[in-house]
Amino acid sequence: HTAQYLKVKYDAKYGLPTREVLQDYAMQSECVQRVMGAHSLLERFIVQRKLMGPCWIRLRNVAQIHSAPSSWCKVECSMSDPKDVVHCTELTNSPAPPLSHATIKFKTAVNPTTHLHEIACI
């Protein structure tokens, strides 16, 4: 069998189509049989930059963000190119960096009286 593939790239600001949309499109199209590689943008970034597991990374061309903080981090920064995040191979024999993290998920609901979002559960 032979096949032709079309690689489509688009800006990340559009997000990923849902699995249902992709399946519906593949079923309804006479030309498209399957859509491949529609993973999350974070997963794609981690795989392409070889950042799986705990590892040391080098950040290049970093600009510190001085506006209102959007997280609880001590320092917030940005980079314009994802290729500026590099797996640091020269520290491979060093112990993995210590990592502390916590995840908190909130569910909100709109208060019918005030029409404001309120935390419903944590």
pLDDT in tens, the chain (122 residues): 576 776 777 776 777 667 677 677 666 766 666 666 666 677 778 778 888 777 788 889 999 888 887 777 788 888 888 888 888 888 777 777 676 666 667 778 888 888 887 877 76
pTM for the whole structure: 0.46
Question: In one letter, which amino acid is 82?
Answer: P
pLDDT of residue 94: 79
CA-closest candidate to residue 69, choices 78, 80, 59: 78
pLDDT of residue 111: 83
